[in-house]
């Protein structure tokens, strides 16, 4: 854990070092991924069966055995204890409500020159959602990917989830069921991304692939980009907590550890204007770590990437936050909305002392798939917009073309595009 | 040119072949581009000076000489003939009006459980726009990239334009001036993209890079993606014209050639329910070609990639159009809005016999940077959305956390994330 103070000489260098530290330790796997994708394109289902046997260590009897049946989804759902199922249902309902509120409206733009202009939104026809298997199988991520797709109006939603040794987390299947996903494939890795993007005899291709995954999945998404759309490629998670002297160090420490427990490469940063809080939190973190089951991971993350930054005032705190452009931003000060209004770059914000980031991971409603690694400078969290695309349109009658056409003819000729010019000029009888 | 008829056996195979024909002949330049980017990152301005001398064949005296001065922009603007300047101004005004209408509103979502939820839009801080030099230097593209960025509220817009042999198209500079761009750099190729993404001592880095370019520019955009945001990577242009028997074959032919004249890899497709029009258009194309200055390019595009498809009815026509998902779609039938409503996938639509696509290239208002190569299935044209990003937010008071927290605690524990659970449970005094 680093401790920085904006009053100290050397602060800028230390902060730059914090910004520039690469936390992503992704191995280079592009060659291996390219080979898997080309095998799936060439051999289709046969490649999927062979690669599943090799990487997931179970042998599907044939390609139809890759699909999870409706009975299996129903059985998995029935196996979940009712209180947990109710929590999942609460989360799903709230996520759906928020994402419905995101839905944009078509526009028609009045035009004094007599054209009619507009912009129409449409969903993609089919989306493929990757869900990691094994220890990182998070049912909350199923909801966060599938619900925006369905709210956007995607006709077909297919989930791919690897089943190492043939095993699947029943809560993941229950989440699929609750989100209305009926097409679930037991495939994983680069081969799953390839099958979704290119299709096989058994699996129809999709138009958009979203969802988190390991280095192979991330690289496969990069390589199929262009053939299909993809969401962003997520790096390790991070939080910046802005807290003033009125905050409880133990709560601040647990908020920092909630991020750190994800992954050794996660990053938790406290920015405070209170020397007393800056002094108290590191000890509170050690006390929290002593009681946490994932303390090895969280402790490693804190030691490697954690930071406590003492600032003179919140103008400084806001400016540093914008330079960090964090995935998650907790604002625990007297006027959280006021401070949030001074910050431009963050994936998601959590306002006030009663709003720990974990609330947003599960039930609040906004998406938990968010831009990491300072990409909040230009990128956004997953939303209905990821599953929609726009078509602009222009409608012209003769009068509108006569009013606007001559300027287009002049510009087309200035660019040396005579057929462009004549396609207009020929209609309105000008040279 | 291919002629297809949905009534004929073998239609499906022929249409699939049309869909699968790769028109993009981009050379693989990834190694060369990676080297250029790493040189610019390591050597900064010195690399820019050397690479500009090598690739653009002029020797800047120092890094400050890479910047176009305000006087040069003013002089270029003064050199344009007034009628052309007026056309540029008409285009800029109309493009600005349309993109203002695209601007989305922030949302606040009411919540019966007592949280407050919302989503806020912000512009990126800085955008870099690439403008190709030489023969493909299109002032209209300057307007189409710079105006959405400025309407979105981007604080700093930097243009990079190569000046082969030190020369620059004055209309490109005039378009920069009209679009309010004051930061213009005489740099091009992969080195320009690297300088925008990573910055040098003279050029500050940006957050988003947009704009068309050659194979080196496209590959450089791919390689800097993640460090900065990019718009889509454009392939060759295409148009699908839907026309019924009432349309004039000569006008249809000129519309097809307006697309074909861009590039030998461009594609122009006519879909019609009229055997007479299907018979008449190929001859009208030959007649048009005989009169066009770019007939060599347009003719080659038409021979290689052009198609006339005869359909039984417009239900078939709409379905085939969706499979093509064209960049540009002209709809020249009795009820163009009605047919457009049945089509889901197109970058931009041009409705009615008085609406040639070229009108939208210049002055109508919607953007002319559009998804190519069937990517309109999932991608959209350039817009203010490319220069904006969203931050979702959650505000909680104690009551809201008490109402929604327990479900989050249950889900966090089901996922094995105890610090997540305790960051909530600790605040509301539950286990």
Q: Within an 8 Å CB–CB cutoff, is residue A384 touching chain B? A: no
CATH code, domain with B155? 3.40.50.1980
Higher-pLDDT residue of A207, A233: A207
Catalytic residue among B264, B328, B357, B368, which? B328
**Cross-chain Cβ contact B363/A404 below 8 Å:** yes
Interface test with A, best of B208, B247, B392 (most A CBs within 10 A): B392
Nearest to B358 among A260, A359, A412 (CB): A412
Whether residue B359 lies inside any domain: the answer is yes
In chain A, the residue whose alpha carbon lies closest to the alpha carbon of B363 is A408
**Residues A157-173: what's their mean pLDDT?**
95
Cα angle, residue B42 at apex, residues B38 and B44 outer, rounded to 5°: 105
For testing the chain B interface, which of A19, A94, A256, A362 should be mutated: the one with the most B CBs within 10 Å?
A362
Give me the count of residues in chain B: 431
Contact A423 B226 (CB under 8 A): no
**Binding-site sequence positions of B for Zn(2+):** 259, 262, 361, 420
pLDDT at A327 over 70: yes
Q: In the listed set A230, A257, A280, which residue is the last one of a domain according to the structure? A: A230
Residue B201: burial class (beta carbons within 10 Å; 0-12, 13-18, 19+): exposed
Q: What is the mean pLDDT of residues A363-370?
A: 97
Final residue of a structural domain among A207, A230, A253: A230
% of chain A with per-residue pLDDT over 70: 99
pLDDT in tens, B48-82: 999 999 999 999 999 999 999 999 999 999 999 99
In the predicted model, is pLDDT for residue B16 greater than 90?
A: yes
Which of B230, B251, B270 terminates a domain? The answer is B230
> What residues 317-376 of chain B have any CB closer than 8 A to a CB of chain A?
336-337, 340, 344-352, 354-367, 371, 373, 375-376
pLDDT digits (tens, 9 = 90+) for A255-289: 999 999 999 999 999 999 999 999 999 999 999 99
Question: Are residues B171 and B288 located together in one domain of the fold?
Answer: no
- Contact yes or no for B94 and A404 at CB 8 A: yes
Q: Which residues of B touch A354 (CB under 8 A)?
A: 396-398, 400-401, 427
**Range scoring the smallest mean pLDDT among A10-24, A357-371, B193-207:** A10-24
Tell me what the pLDDT averaged over chain A comes to.
Answer: 96
Band of residue A25 on the pLDDT scale cut at 50, 70, 90: low
My answer on whether B219 and B246 are in the same domain is no
SS (H, E, C) chain A: CEEEECCCCCHHHHHHHHHHCCCCCCCCCHHHHHHHHHHHHHHCHHHHHHHHHHHHCCCCCCHHHHECCHHHHHHHHHHCCHHHHHHHHHHHHHHHHHHHHHCCCCEEECCCCCCEEEEEEEECCEEEEECCCHHHCCHHHHHHHHHHHHHHCCCEEEEECCCHHHCCCHHHHHHHHHCCCCEEECCCHHHHHHHHHHCCCCCCCCCEEECCCCHHHHHHHHHHECCEEECCCCCCCEEEEEECCCCCHHHHHHHHHHHHCCCCCCEEEEEECCHHHHHHHHHHHHHHHCCCCCHHHHHHHHHHHCEEEECCCHHHHHHHHHHHCCCEEEEECCCHHHHHHCCCCCCEEEECCCCCHHHHHHCCCCCCCCCCCCHHHCCCCCCHHHHEEEEEEEECCHHHHHHHHHHHHHHHHHCCCHHHHHHHHHHHCCC
Give the nearest chain A residue to B252 (CA atoms). A423
Q: Which residues from chain A sit within 8 angstroms of residue B375, using beta carbons?
A: 226, 229
Q: What is the mean pLDDT of residues B15-39?
A: 88
Classify residue B18: in a domain, yes or no. yes
C-alpha–C-alpha distance, residues A105 and B104, integer Å:
9
Please say whether the beta carbons of A203 and A67 come within 8 A: no
**CA dist., res. A45 & res. A202, Å (int):** 7
Contact B243, B272 (CB under 8 A): yes
Question: How far is it, in rounded angstroms, from Cα B181 to Cα B41?
Answer: 25
Within 10 angstroms of residue B383's Cβ, the number of other Cβ atoms is 22
pLDDT at A431: 79
Question: What is residue A30's predicted lDDT score, i.e. its pLDDT?
Answer: 87
Q: What is the mean predicted confidence (pLDDT) over A76-92? A: 97
Instruction: Say what the pLDDT of residue A235 is.
Output: 86
For residue B108, the cross-strand partners are: B118
Residues A278, A171 share a domain: no
- How many angstroms away from the CA of A213 is the closest CA of chain B? 16
**Residue B190 pLDDT grade (very low, low, confident, very high; cuts 50, 70, 90):** very high
User: Does A115 map to a domain?
Assistant: no
Within a domain: B319? yes
The partner residues of A327 in beta bridges, in order of sequence, read: none
Whether A379 sits inside 8 A of B414 (CB atoms) is: no
Task: Summarize the annotated binding site of B as residue ranges.
Answer: 130, 191, 214, 237, 259, 262, 328, 361, 415, 420
User: How many structural domains compose chain A?
Assistant: 3
Per-residue model confidence (pLDDT) at position A26: 65
Residues of A carrying an active site annotation = 327-328
Query: Is A218 found in the same domain as A275?
Result: no
Task: List chain A residues with CB under 8 Å of B392.
Answer: 98, 347-349, 360, 366-367, 381
CA distance A63 to A51: 12
Q: What are phi and psi of A112, to 5 degrees?
A: -60, -25
Q: Does A203 touch chain B (CB under 8 A)?
A: no
Binding-site residue ranges of A:
130, 191, 214, 237, 259, 262, 328, 361, 415, 420
Let me know whether B241 and B163 are in one domain. no
> How many CB atoms sit inside 10 A of residue B262's CB?
23
Domain that holds residue B411: 396-428
pLDDT digits (tens, 9 = 90+) for A33-49: 999 999 999 999 999 99
Average pLDDT, chain B: 96
**124-153 in chain B: CB under 8 A from chain A:** 124-125, 135, 138-140
Based on the fold, state whether residues A406 and A314 are members of the same structural domain: no
> What pLDDT does residue A164 have?
94
pLDDT of B136 above 70: no
Q: Which residue of B lies nearest to A115 if distances are taken between CA atoms?
A: B364
Q: Looking at the complex, report in whole angstroms how far the Cα of residue B53 sits from the nearest Cα belonging to chain A.
A: 27
- Residue A382 binned pLDDT confidence (cut-offs 50, 70, 90): very high
Band (pLDDT 50/70/90 cuts) for residue A72 is very high
Rg (CA), chain A: 26
* Angle, helices A249-260/A275-289, rounded to nearest 10 degrees: 60
Q: Does A287 reach chain B within 8 Å, measured CB to CB?
A: no
Rg (CA), chain B: 26
Backbone angles phi and psi of B181, in degrees to 5: -90, 125
Interface of A with B in 210-269 (CB under 8 A): 226, 228-229, 233, 250-251, 254-255, 257-258, 260-262
Instruction: Look at residues B100, B27, B68 and name the one whose alpha carbon lies nearest to residue B384.
Output: B100
Interchain proximity B258–A115, CB inside 8 Å: no
| Residue A217, in any domain of the structure | yes
* Phi and psi torsions of B68, nearest 5°: -75, 135
Give me the pLDDT at residue B23, please: 82
B106 contacts chain A (CB < 8 A):
no
Q: Do A185 and A256 lie in a common domain?
A: no
Q: Is the pLDDT of residue B278 over 90?
A: yes
pLDDT tens, A103-161? Answer: 999 999 989 999 999 999 999 999 999 999 865 678 999 999 999 999 999 999 999 99
Identify whether residues A271 and A190 lie together within a single domain: no
**DSSP symbol at B279:** H
pLDDT at B116: 97
Do B210 and B263 lie in a common domain? no
A351, B107: Cβ pair inside 8 Å? no
Partner B, chain A 49-88, Cβ-Cβ below 8 Å: 83-84, 86-88
Q: State how beta strands A229-230 and A156-160 pair.
A: unpaired
For chain B, give the percent of residues with pLDDT over 90: 93
Q: Residue B423: which of A88, A140, A358 has the nearest Cβ? A: A358
Is the domain of B283 the same as that of B211?
Answer: no
Asked whether the beta carbons of residue B350 and residue A393 sit closer than 8 angstroms, the reply is yes
A21 band by pLDDT with thresholds 50, 70 and 90:
confident
Shared-domain flag, residues A87 and A138: yes
Does the residue B391 lie in any domain?
no
Active site residue B327: yes
Q: What is the pLDDT of residues B346-375, one digit of tens each?
A: 999 999 999 999 999 999 999 999 999 999
Annotated catalytic residue within B96, B238, B264, B327: B327
pLDDT of residue B135: 59
Mark yes or no for CB contact B415/A86 under 8 Å.
no
pLDDT, residue A322, reads 98
**Is B88 inside a domain boundary?**
yes
Question: Based on the domain organization, do B160 and B198 belong to the same domain?
Answer: yes
User: Does residue A427 belong to the interface with chain B, where contact is any CB pair within 8 Å?
Assistant: yes
Q: Is the pLDDT of residue A65 over 70?
A: yes
Rounded Cα distance between A161 and A68, Å, is 10
Subunit contact B377:A207, Cβ cutoff 8 A: yes
The answer to the question of residue B337 being in a domain is yes
Find the mean pLDDT for residues B130-156.
91
With an 8 Å Cβ cutoff, are B351 and A94 in contact? no
| Least reliable range by pLDDT among A230-239, A350-359, B10-19, B382-391 | A230-239
């Amino acid at each position: 854990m680093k401790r920085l103070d904006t009053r100290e000489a050397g602060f800028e260098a230390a902060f730059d070092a914090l910004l520039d530290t690469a936390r992503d330790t992704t191995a280079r796997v592009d060659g291996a991924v390219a080979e898997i994708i080309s095998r799936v394109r060439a051999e289709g289902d046969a490649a999927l069966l062979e690669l599943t046997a090799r990487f997931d260590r179970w042998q599907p009897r044939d390609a139809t055995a890759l699909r999870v049946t409706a009975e299996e989804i129903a059985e998995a759902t029935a196996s979940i204890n009712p209180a947990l199922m109710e929590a999942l249902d609460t989360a799903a309902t709230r996520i759906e409500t928020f994402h419905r509120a995101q839905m944009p409206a078509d526009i028609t733009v009045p035009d004094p020159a007599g054209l009619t202009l507009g912009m129409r939104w449409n969903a993609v026809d089919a989306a493929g959602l990757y869900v990691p298997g094994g220890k990182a199988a998070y049912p909350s991520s199923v909801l966060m990917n599938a619900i925006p797709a369905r709210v956007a109006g995607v006709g077909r939603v297919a989930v791919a989830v690897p089943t190492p040794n043939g095993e699947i987390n029943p809560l993941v299947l229950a989440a699929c069921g609750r989100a209305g996903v009926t097409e679930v494939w037991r495939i994983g890795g680069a081969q799953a991304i390839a099958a979704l993007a290119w299709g096989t005899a058994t699996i129809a291709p999709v138009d958009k692939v979203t969802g988190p995954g390991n280095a192979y999945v991330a690289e496969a998404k990069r390589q199929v980009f262009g053939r299909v759309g993809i969401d962003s490629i997520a790096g390790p998670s991070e939080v910046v907590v802005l807290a003033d002297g009125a905050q409880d160090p133990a709560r601040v420490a647990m908020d920092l550890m909630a991020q750190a427990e994800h992954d050794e490469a996660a990053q938790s940063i406290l920015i405070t204007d209170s020397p007393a809080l800056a002094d108290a939190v590191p000890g509170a973190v050690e006390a929290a770590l002593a009681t946490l089951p994932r303390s090895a991971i969280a402790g490693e993350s804190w030691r490697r990437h954690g930071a406590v930054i003492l600032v003179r005032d919140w103008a400084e705190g806001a400016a540093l936050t914008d330079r960090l452009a964090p995935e998650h931003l907790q604002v625990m000060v007297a006027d959280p909305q006021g401070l949030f209004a001074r910050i431009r770059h963050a994936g998601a914000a959590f306002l006030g002392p009663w709003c720990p980031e974990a609330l947003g991971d599960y039930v609040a409603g906004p998406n938990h798939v968010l831009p990491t690694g300072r990409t909040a400078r230009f990128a956004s969290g997953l939303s209905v917009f990821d599953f929609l695309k726009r078509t602009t349109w222009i409608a012209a009658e003769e009068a509108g073309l006569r009013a606007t056409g001559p300027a287009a003819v002049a510009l087309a000729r200035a660019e040396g595009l005579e057929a462009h010019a004549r396609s207009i000029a020929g209609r309105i009888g000008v040279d």
